[in-house]
Structure 1
Amino acid sequence: MSWLGIWWHDEVVYGYKGPLLLSFTAFVITFVATRTITRLIRAGKGPFHDIDNGGVHMHHSTPGVLILILGAFMAVGSPPLSVWTYVSGVLVGIGASLVLDEFAMLFRLQDVYWSQEGQLSLNVVTLAAGCVGLAAVGVSPVKLDRLAESSNAARLVATVWLVSHLTLVVITALKGKYPMALFGLFVAPITWFGAIRLARPTSPWARRRYSGAKLERAKQRAAAFDERWGPVRRHWDDFIGGTPVSPTPPSAS
């Protein structure tokens, strides 16, 4: 049996990852479709157009919230692994994608979808898709479902390992390396690297523990990192979400 067949057998069929895998697939497809449509609307191409109701612009996060709520209640009210569980997985994926695609607007409470601030949504969607995708394929620092069949010593070792791993995840997050902390939940070596590196100078860890030469070194390293990888990240964000424009200033009430 190929590695793909083994993965499907162990993780999807007997690991009960079918609903999660469907949710992840629906999440990605919905995001790609949504960004394609919104960019066509922005360019004035195709049959798509903004939806206005009595002069009020309808953002796609609105139906996204309703779909997400419907899927969530369907999931908690359905028999395990019934057809409704799979349907709810699809609904949760669609709803979450629509909501997170406008996360920056919800966070700032103004229309920044096409602005530089609006690209926060792309970062959130990328992190969410990465974490859900890793969970869907079965990546985990420890297989907790197998601990019950292990000896007491093995369970103790696994528990110590898990606590240590989560501690490193927290340290990585406190150092301002939030993407590394999220992905490190599933891929442990990422947190090992993040936890031993210098913190971002504006992070809680740096504010409490760094001063003098060490703080200056952290600022220099952060500036060098941003100078090297900032343009790459901006080009990627522009490619996925479209070139940002200056946000429209809010009208006076």
Structure 2
Amino acid sequence: MGHWWERNIVEPGKLPLFLALVSFVLTFLITRAITRMIRAGKGPFRNVTPGGVHVHHVVPGILLMVLGGFGVIAGYKHGFGSGLAAVLFGIGVGLVLDEFALVLHLDDVYWTEQGRQSVEVVVLTAALAGLMFLGFVPFGVNDLSEDELQGRATAVWTIVLNFLIALIALLKGKLRMAVIGVFVPFIALWGALRLARPASPWAKRLYRTRSRARARAQVRAYRHDKRWNRLRRRFEDLVGGAPSR
């Protein structure tokens, strides 16, 4: 286990990514737990309102992201400095993305229907970072054998091809499938082969004169949203709390 961790995580330089990912996820979960307690009037936590101004936690989040980011740029690539910068950055990202909807709408929509966007972005970001971490592509490993070099070249070409497929899925309006599909090829391929969503750039460009394809895309999008939106909403309510009615 120690040799595997050293070769696949430490040597390629993935330890900061691991620390940032764990810090990010834990910060989001702890923050949501605290905000839900504040909302319910339970526990010792209260909103921070110096001088009557509600200081949202996106503010310290931005500061921590700046500290962590500049810590990495300053040259803390290894050792304690690298780990500390990664943790600060992960905590900052967790605080900022927890209020992504507030930043997007420039309004306090934390407990509204629009506030669900924060949970969506956090889940998507965690999945992306987790897939990057679990990729275990040892681009930083030295002293590779001939077979390992060939395997690396094959991996690079596979990544490039899969990226192009994921780009098609993105143009078809399949954002989640495109992001996850960068690391899981079959998901990107499935998104690229299926009909585009009606409002996507692909549909606007290529379905403009194809009334049947446009109609099929609208029907399929309606059925997909009807089938999955309820499940997605239940998951988001479980993770981030239900919006105010």
Runs of 4+ residues deviating >4 angstroms: 143-160
> In structure 2, what is the equivalent of residue 221 of structure 1?
220
> In structure 2, what is the equivalent of residue 14 of structure 1?
11
With 58-67 and 180-189 compared, the bigger mean Cα shift is at 180-189
> In structure 2, what is the equivalent of residue 235 of structure 1?
234
Please give the root-mean-square deviation of Cα atoms over the aligned residues, in Å. Answer: 2.2
The answer to whether 1:29 aligns with 2:30 is: no
> In structure 2, what is the equivalent of residue 41 of structure 1?
38
5+ residue gaps, structure 2, are none
Q: Which amino acid aligns with 2:43?
A: G
Question: Percent identity, aligned pairs only?
Answer: 43
* Aligned 8 A contact 1:104 1:121 in 2: yes
Q: Distance in 1 between matches of 2:4 and 2:205?
A: 44
With 232-241 and 73-82 compared, the bigger mean Cα shift is at 73-82
Aligned pairs for 1:191-206 (under 5 A) are 191-206=188-203
* Aligned 8 A contact 1:135 1:186 in 2: yes
Q: Residue 102 of structure 1: which of 91, 99, 102 is its match? A: 99
- Please list the CA deviations of residues 181-235 of structure 1 after superposition, one character each: whole Å capped at 9, or x if unmatched: 1111112221111110111111111111113111111111111111111110111
> In structure 2, what is the equivalent of residue 208 of structure 1?
205
Alpha-carbon shift at residue 6 of structure 1 (Å): 6.4
Q: Distance in 2 between matches of 1:160 and 1:146?
A: 19
- Please list the CA deviations of residues 19-55 of structure 1 after superposition, one character each: whole Å capped at 9, or x if unmatched: 1101111011100100000000000000001110111
Distance 1:207 1:150, change over 3 A: farther
Q: Distance in 2 between matches of 1:7 and 1:113?
A: 42
* Aligned 8 A contact 1:50 1:57 in 2: yes
Q: Distance in 2 between matches of 1:150 and 1:56?
A: 62
- Please list the CA deviations of residues 49-77 of structure 1 after superposition, one character each: whole Å capped at 9, or x if unmatched: 11101111010000000011001001111
Distance 1:68 1:150, change over 3 A: same
Q: Distance in 2 between matches of 1:68 and 1:50?
A: 22
Q: Residue 167 of structure 2: which of 152, 167, 170 is its match? A: 170
* Aligned 8 A contact 1:52 1:58 in 2: yes
* Aligned 8 A contact 1:11 1:137 in 2: no
* Aligned 8 A contact 2:12 2:139 in 1: no
* Aligned 8 A contact 2:47 2:54 in 1: yes
5+ residue gaps, structure 1, are 247-253
Distance 1:52 1:245, change over 3 A: same
Q: Which amino acid aligns with 2:223?
A: A
* Aligned 8 A contact 1:175 1:198 in 2: yes
Q: TM-score, normalised by structure 1?
A: 0.87
Q: Which amino acid aligns with 2:235?
A: W
* Aligned 8 A contact 2:57 2:96 in 1: yes
Alpha-carbon shift at residue 78 of structure 1 (Å): 2.7
Q: How many residues align?
A: 241
With 236-245 and 174-183 compared, the bigger mean Cα shift is at 236-245
Aligned pairs for 1:144-163 (under 5 A) are 160-163=157-160
Distance 1:189 1:139, change over 3 A: farther
* Aligned 8 A contact 1:100 1:121 in 2: yes
Aligned pairs for 1:79-158 (under 5 A) are 79-138=76-135
* Aligned 8 A contact 1:11 1:138 in 2: no
Distance 1:150 1:106, change over 3 A: farther
Distance 1:60 1:200, change over 3 A: same
Distance 1:36 1:155, change over 3 A: closer
- Please list the CA deviations of residues 81-135 of structure 1 after superposition, one character each: whole Å capped at 9, or x if unmatched: 1210010000010000100000010010001000010110000000111111111
